[in-house]
Amino acid sequence: MIHPATLIPGDGIGPEVADATVRVIECTGVSIEWERIELNAAIITESGKHLPPAVLGSLARTHVGLKGPVTTPVAGGFQSVNVSLRKQLDLFANVRPVRKLPGLKSRYEDVPIDIVIFRENTEDLYAGLEHEVVANVVTSLKVITRTASERIARYAFQYAKSAGRKKITAVHKANIMKLSDGLFLKCCREVSREFPQIEYTELIVDNAAMQLVMKPEQFDVLLMPNLYGDIVSDLAAGLVGGLGIVPGANIGERDAVFEAVHGSAPDIAGKGIANPTALMLSSVMMLRHLGEYEAARRLQSAIESVYAERKYLTPDVGGKATTNEFTNAVAAALN
């Protein structure tokens, strides 16, 4: 079977890690018909659209995307491409598995870390409803709805049930934002009653951050609104080695975009030392989404075997290998 998919390499190190990922997917034997769509800061600025028609048109045909990093200006310029994609395609679930890779040194050397974070992806403060009330006084509206909260909660519980996960922790600040986060918690509680086999707990977000650092092994699945999910998922990535080795997926009812969540790293672009692990592991999630479970298992196993050997790791994870040498090692492990 041939699977159509959209490839958005992005900018900075994006094209390098995207090419490496496409190569190892080919080594699994799965047939992907790629539609390669260029999207970077220069194209966005020139076109005047942060999501040019070619991007949305391709995803409308394929319904599956693999995306590298696209630079987003800070405090000005165009809107985040990621936020725009999530809104346009209603990619309501951001899914971030966080687990240790073998061979990487960590302050949590003997602590098992295997967490899946579910972040509501379409509302909260990311609704972008901001305005200046009077000079130098700005408001930003936090939007929480029953529809979105129930949908992400049910998706997380259904995942936990199918994956054999035992516990879901909802993360919130309902002690302060009693109406907005209160509604999110109410929805989580209601959905949890439909899954009595899964333990359900709650934590205030500041306590959750502390507990993650002190005892990460206590967590299984984390469920949270958009802003907390954004912050906590990056914090959790830091527990296992950083964003360069953590995958991500944005899932909707019809479409799905799998992406490396790290930045475009323009300072090392073109030097041949970028780490493609995050995008490769995101492609593992993509293969599972496509029903190619054995290929996904083999690719994940190949990546982990290269890490366990430690001979071909890139500089960001303590090695001296180039992007190409790491990719060659993963391809060899697959073959």
pLDDT tens, position by position, 209-265: 999 999 999 999 999 999 999 999 999 999 999 999 999 999 999 999 999 989 889
Domain count, the chain: 2
My answer on whether 130 and 179 are in the same domain is: yes
Find the catalytic residue in 11, 67, 100, 126: 126
My answer on whether 22 and 62 are in the same domain is: yes
Give a yes or no: residue 100 inside a domain: no
My answer on whether 219 and 265 are in the same domain is: no
My answer on whether 47 and 80 are in the same domain is: yes
Find the catalytic residue in 161, 206, 293, 311: 206
My answer on whether 10 and 34 are in the same domain is: yes
Distances (CA, A) of 304 to 111, 117, 307, 309, 333: 18, 21, 5, 9, 10
Residue 86, amino acid: R
Q: Is 220 among the residues known to form the active site?
A: no
Q: Among the three residues 240, 275, 300, which one is the final residue of a domain in this structure?
A: 240
Q: Among the three residues 185, 207, 240, which one is the final residue of a domain in this structure?
A: 240
Find the catalytic residue in 173, 181, 200, 228: 173
Q: Among the three residues 223, 240, 257, which one is the final residue of a domain in this structure?
A: 240
Distance CA 279, CA 247 (A): 6
From the list 317, 165, 149, the residue with the least C-alpha distance to 241 is 317
Q: What tokens does 210 get?
A: 């502390």
Within 10 Å of residue 253's Cβ, how many Cβ atoms? 11
Distance CA 92, CA 152 (A): 7
Q: Is 230 among the residues known to form the active site?
A: yes
Name the pTM for this structure. Answer: 0.93
My answer on whether 23 and 112 are in the same domain is: no
Tell me which residue range forms the domain holding 270: 1-94+244-335
Find the catalytic residue in 11, 124, 181, 230: 230
My answer on whether 250 and 317 are in the same domain is: yes
My answer on whether 236 and 258 are in the same domain is: no
pLDDT tens, position by position, 3-56: 999 999 999 999 999 999 999 999 999 999 999 999 877 777 777 777 888 999
